[in-house]
Amino acid sequence: MVRKPRKGWRMCVDYTNLNRACPKDSFPLPRIDQLVDATAGHALLSFMDAYSGYNQIFMHPEDQAHTSFITDRGRYCYKVMPFGLKNAGATYQRLVNHLFAPLIGNTMEVYVDDMLVKSRTADQHIPNLSAMFTILKQYKMRLNPTKCAFGVASGKFLGFMISQRGIEANPEKIQAILDITIPKTVKDIQSLTGRVAALTRFISKATERCAPFFKALKGTKRNITWTAECETAFSELKEYMGRAPLWSTPEHGDILVIYLSVSASAVSFVLIRSKDNAKHPVHYVSKALQDAEVRYPDIEKLAFALVVSARRLRPYFQAHTIHVLTNQPLRQVLQKPETSGRLVKWAIELGEFDIHYKPRPAMRGQAVADFLSEFTEPQAPAATQLITEPNPSPSQAQTPTENTLDLTQPLWTLFVDGSSNAQGCGAGLVLVSPDKVALEYALRFNFQASNNEAEYEALLAGLRLAKEMDARQIQIFSDSQLVVHQVNQDFTAKDASMTAYLQHARHLLATFHAHSIKQVPRSENSHADALARLASALEQGLGRHIHIEFLAQPSTQAPLICTIDHSPTWMDPILQFLQNQTLPANPA
């Protein structure tokens, strides 16, 4: 016997063996989030609970003996459906769906034994209750008066606070997080993460907020290491829960907006509904990246975030037009997915929905405060930190970021440009010292290169020259959008050649104490552009002496090293069998 939370006792019988023998009834239970959304926004609500709901269904006479149990006073069996049976929930849900079929979805919502009558206006509520009680009386279903509330403006339904304003988190669950003390054991951290999981729909980027707690759980199972990072995350979580946002329920015909965010270990997104020039959150979702997902390129992580959102929020995607606000080429990646098999699968999966891709406007409002940046990278050391500003404007591209470059220290400036045409390939660069002395340099390639490869060769040559001049910090200007955004990690290099050039460029950039790279219009890079065109067309006359270097091979080409002689290995018999079908002399 187990005492109930309010009053009385509940008898519990172990039906493990009976449940193992019974086939599973796959009748689906309603989605809680859909029921909650369908309930919010009504003027009056009535909450009802069936009195020992399962016990109001009679057992078939032939099955009563299977529910028998033994006590110290003898053997007994149930004549009504007891608690503890595997299919009890599905059986009861099928029953109430049949009884209240004319009302469900219109004036009533039912989840197992929790029932709710809703009305858009106050004068409709009495007729709606009358229709529900008529069905209860017809089938002799009883209610528990201690758990019923009639004609209220708000109340608790399936763990959420429902009102005409919207949907709010359960205050008791929020207070449970606010009251928790600093965890000292593994069990304390597990309790904290469990309480957060119960409110994850209300918490923006919940997985990222709890990442320090998960790190503390790794290693020994007895003791934990509560770091400063954990303390900061713990304080920020409590502060956030003190101002948890109010949910909004989308209406028919609404266009919903989704914001995506990607970090090194998780993807997050928020579904937004706009009303009265304000943004109201509909749903927060966050997912930790597992195994190979962590190694996806950034743009594929962004596509994966959209796929996860479509899976988690499928009813919203099916019922509404979705606008994906992103400054990344997400539409182009999904519509031309020939470079990755998983992108093909994702594109087909998303094809059934009405999804439109829009550029991100200026973002305002608390609901999207955590989604200002689409890519959140881990903090890098100062010597290798890159600037990651998606889609900089021309005005921003003319000055370096002050928190990356120390303007009190000597600063070198590099202008680079590459050229590839029918006459040949070349690169030009202008390196300006802190004393405003300009070094002009031109390269002529003895190999064929694409325009993007020529741009990379110009960048690499300029970095090598700056390194020889003992430059410590450097600002780089190029008119190549692809090179600049790949180095700044805004674009992903998928071509093998571009990947090799990008890795080489990052390796050289890591040798400087600080650096920045910006895209500028070609008109502002005319000096380097002229040198590049000059190097690619040697027959043109030179007005003054400019040093031109001949580059024999690409900078990314490594020397070929071959094995001249090697001793026998264990692989030789296997190769002989695969090539010549020759069995080894020793079968063992």
pLDDT for 96-117, tens place per residue? 899 899 999 889 999 888 889 9
Class of residue 486 by CB neighbours under 10 A (exposed 0-12, middle 13-18, buried 19+): buried
Q: What is the pLDDT of residue 184?
A: 81
Question: How confident is the model over 492-510, as a mean pLDDT?
Answer: 86
pLDDT at 536: 59
Rounded (10°) angle between helices 451-468 and 526-536 = 110
Q: Would you state the pLDDT for residue 222?
A: 64
Question: Under 8 Å CB-to-CB from 138, ≥6 apart: which residues?
Answer: none
User: Does the pLDDT value for residue 543 go beyond 60?
Assistant: no
The pLDDT of residue 395 is 35
Flag whether pLDDT at 325 surpasses 50. yes
Cα gap 42→238, rounded to integer Å: 31
The whole-number pLDDT of residue 538 equals 53
Which region among 23-32, 129-138, 245-254, 478-487 has the lowest average model confidence (pLDDT)? 245-254
**Greatest extent of the chain over all pairs of C-alpha atoms, in Å:** 114
CATH number at residue 540: 3.30.420.10
Give the span between the Cα atoms of 443 and 454, in whole angstroms.
Answer: 10
Helix axes 496-509, 451-468, angle to 10 degrees: 20
Do residue 47 and residue 191 come from a single domain?
no
Q: What average pLDDT does the structure give for the chain?
A: 79
Q: How far apart are CA 402 and CA 400, in angstroms?
A: 6
* CATH number of the domain residue 34 falls in: 3.30.70.270
Q: CB-based burial of residue 48 (10 Å sphere; 0-12 exposed, 13-18 middle, 19+ buried)?
A: buried
Taking the C-alpha atoms of residue 358 and residue 367, their distance in angstroms, rounded to an integer, is: 19
Position 402 confidence tier, pLDDT thresholds 50, 70, 90: very low
- Do 156 and 173 lie in one domain? The reply is no
Among 545, 517, 540, 497, which Cα is nearest to 416's? 517
Task: Determine phi and psi for 21, rounding to 5 degrees.
Answer: -85, -20
- CB burial of 91-120 (b: ≥16 within 10 Å; e: otherwise) equals ebbebbeebbeebbeebbbbbbbbbbbbbe
Q: Which residue has the higher pLDDT, 538 or 312?
A: 312
Model confidence at 130, in pLDDT bands (50, 70, 90)?
very high
Q: Are 234 and 300 in the same domain? A: no
Examine the domain organization and report whether 527 and 475 are in the same domain. Answer: yes
Q: Is residue 575 part of a domain?
A: no
- Judged against a pLDDT cut of 50, whether residue 492 lies above it is answered with yes
441 inside domain: yes
Q: At residue 357, does pLDDT exceed 70?
A: yes
Query: Could you tell me if 302 and 176 lie in one domain?
Result: no
pLDDT at position 522 is 77
Using CA atoms, how far residue 183 sits from 179, 189, 195, 226, 546, in Å, is 12, 6, 13, 8, 68
User: Does 560 map to a domain?
Assistant: no
Mean pLDDT of 59-79: 87
Q: What does the alpha-carbon distance between residue 54 and residue 19 come to, in Å, rounded to a whole number?
A: 16
Quick check: helix, strand or coil at residue 417? strand
Q: pTM of the entire structure?
A: 0.55
Name the more confident of 543 and 32.
32
Q: Which of 105, 133, 164 is the last residue of a domain?
A: 164
Q: How is residue 246 annotated by DSSP? A: P
* Domain membership flag for residue 384: no
Express each pLDDT in 418-439 by its tens digit: 888 777 788 888 888 888 888 8
Better-predicted residue by pLDDT, 565 or 41: 41
557 located within any domain: no
Pair 24, 147 in one domain: yes
CA count, 13 A, side-chain hemisphere, 177? 27
Give yes or no for residue 477 having a pLDDT over 80: yes
pLDDT at 581: 76
Q: Contact, 256 vs 320, CB < 8 A?
A: yes
530 φ/ψ angles, rounded to the nearest 5 degrees:
-65, -40
pLDDT at position 413 over 80? yes
Tell me the CA end-to-end span of the chain in Å, nearest whole number. Answer: 67
- Asked whether residue 580 is domain-assigned, the answer is no
- 138 and 265, same domain (yes or no): no
- DSSP assigned state of 219: S
Same domain, 540 and 420: yes
Question: Which domain covers residue 360, as residue numbers?
Answer: 255-375
pLDDT-derived band at 237, boundaries 50, 70, 90: confident
Which of 126, 148, 164 is the endpoint of a domain? 164
Question: What span, in angstroms and rounded, lies between the C-alpha atoms of 370 and 286?
Answer: 12
pLDDT above 80: residue 339: no
Please classify residue 483 by burial: count the beta carbons closer than 10 Å to its beta carbon, then call 0-12 exposed, 13-18 middle and 19+ buried: buried
Residues 156 and 131 in one domain: yes
Please give the average per-residue pLDDT across 541-556, as a whole number.
58
Please tell me which residue, 265 or 47, carries the higher pLDDT value: 47
One domain, residues 236 and 276: no
Q: Is residue 457 part of a domain?
A: yes
Across the range 229-248, mean pLDDT stands at 79
Q: Which pLDDT value is given to residue 383?
A: 30
pLDDT in tens, 74-100: 888 889 888 888 888 888 898 889 989
The strand pair at 255-263 and 2-3 is best described as: unpaired
User: Based on the domain organization, do 39 and 145 belong to the same domain?
Assistant: yes
Query: Is 10's pLDDT higher than 50?
Result: yes
The helix (run of H) or strand (run of E) holding residue 551 is: strand 548-551
Mean pLDDT of 553-578: 73
Region 160-170: mean pLDDT is 82
* Residue whose structure tokens are 């590459």: 418
The enclosing domain of 294 has a CATH number of: 3.10.20.370
**In the chain, how many domains are there?**
4
| pLDDT higher than 80, residue 390 | no
Do residues 65 and 173 both lie within one domain? no
337 touches 343 (CB < 8 A): yes
Contact 459, 453 (CB under 8 A): no
Confidence of residue 552 (pLDDT cuts 50, 70, 90): low
Confirm whether 556 is domain-assigned. no
Residues ≥6 apart with Cβ < 8 Å to 215: 227, 229, 230
Q: Which of the four pLDDT bands, split at 50, 70 and 90, describes residue 400?
A: very low
Domain boundary among 99, 134, 164: 164
Question: What whole-number distance in Å separates Cα of residue 268 and Cα of residue 270?
Answer: 7
Strand, coil or helix: what is 542? coil
- 333 three-state secondary structure: helix
How far, in Å, are 201, 240, 284, 366, 519 from residue 244 at the CA level?
Answer: 10, 6, 11, 10, 40
What is the reported pLDDT for 236? 82
